[in-house]
Amino acid sequence: MPHKGQFTQGFALLTNGQTTIEDIRQALSDADFEIAREGPTSGNWQFGGDALLIPFRPEVNGYLLVDVVDQPWPDSMGGKDTESDAMTLGAWSMGFFGPFAYPGGLERARQHSWAWAEGRQAGLNHHGFIRLKMSYILGAGDKDVKVLPKEYDPLEELMFLSQVTLALFETPGVLCYFNPSGEVLRDAAGFRAAWEACRAQKKVPLPLWVNVRFFNLTESLFLMDTVGNGQLDLQDVEALFPKSSHDPGDVDFYLRNITHYLQKLRRGLKSGESIDGPGENNASWTIDIPQDSIATPPRGVVRLFPKSAGDVVEAAMEQLSKLAK
C-alpha cells in the first residue's frame, strides 16, 4: 500500500480531457507561481504526463510536480489483469496517485460527498486529470538526500498545494477537485468558500483535505470516521455510538476537534484511556487502538466510543470479525 515515500502529498483536479500543459502554465503564471522547469511525458501516463515543476522548499530539493493526463482517473488502481493495469498497479504502489490513495477512492468520495451534494455525480464523465505531487527527491543525485527533510512540515505542504489548486481552478477544462488521500470532492466555489472561511477564522481547512464519513454499522450503532489524517502524519479517527445518543452533526464536529487534538498531542494515545465525548468535559468516552480500521481504506485509527456503550460496541466488533473470516 502506498505511503509517504518519493511523494509526500498528492492532489488531483478532474478534467474534461482537453486541458493542456500550456493552459496549466498560464493559470500558474497568472497567479504568480514560479515555474522552475518543465518536462515531457514519461512515456507511460501512469508515471506522468507533460509536467511543470514548482519550487516549494528548493533549499532541501522540495518541489511540486504538476502534470496533466488525458485519461480518466484509474479508480481500480490496476485491479485487472492487463498490461495497462499492471503499469497502473506499479505506479500506484510507488505513490504516483498520492501517498495514501487506495482503490475505489473516487467512488467512496462520491458516496460520502456530504459537503457537496452534487459531488455524488462529480467526475462521472471526466476524461482526464491534473495531478499535483510533492517531493524532495526529484532529480536528486545525492545518495544522502532525505525523503522527509529536516523540519518537515506536512501542514505547510497542504497549505501550499491548496493555494496552487485555487490557481488551477482557472484552467480551462477543470471540473472539480479530488483529494485521493482524503477522498474529498469539491467544486471551485465550494473549495474557495471553505478556504476563505477557514482563513478568516484562522482555522486549518481540514474539510478540504480530510473527509468525514457516515455509516449504519448495525441496527443500533452508527459509525463515523475520518479518512485522510495520514496527510498530516496523524491517525484517522473512528467514532462508534448508539443511534439514539448523539446527533451525527455533533460527531462530525467532534472528529474534527479530535484531529486538532492529535496535532497538538506530543504522545501516542493508548487503549483504555478516557476522553471527553462530543460537547462534553467529563471523559465519558473510551479510547481503543485497533489493528485496523473498520471501513476501507485499511489504515491506522484511533477508535472512540461511549463507555456506556462498551458492551454493544464489543458485540458489534465480534460480529464484524466473524463476517470477515
Q: What is the per-residue pLDDT across 1-43, written as a single tens digit (0 to 9) for each? A: 567 999 999 999 999 999 999 999 999 999 999 999 987 777 8
pLDDT at 142: 62
Residue 71 scores a pLDDT above 90: yes
Q: What is the mean pLDDT of residues 150-162?
A: 96
Q: Indicate if the pLDDT at residue 81 is higher than 90.
A: no
Q: Is 69 exposed, middle or buried, given 0-12, 13-18 or 19+ CB atoms closer than 10 A?
A: buried
Distance (Å, whole) CA 85 – CA 258: 38
SS3 177: strand
Find how far residue 273's CA is from the centre of its chain: 28
Torsion of CA 102, 62, 153, 142, to 10 degrees: 90
151-187 burial code (b ≥16 CB/10 A, e <16): ebebeebbebbbebbbbbbebebbbbbbbbbbbbbbb
pLDDT at 144 over 90: no
Give the predicted TM-score (pTM) of the model: 0.94
Contacts of 317 (CB under 8 A, 6+ apart): none
DSSP category for residue 60: G
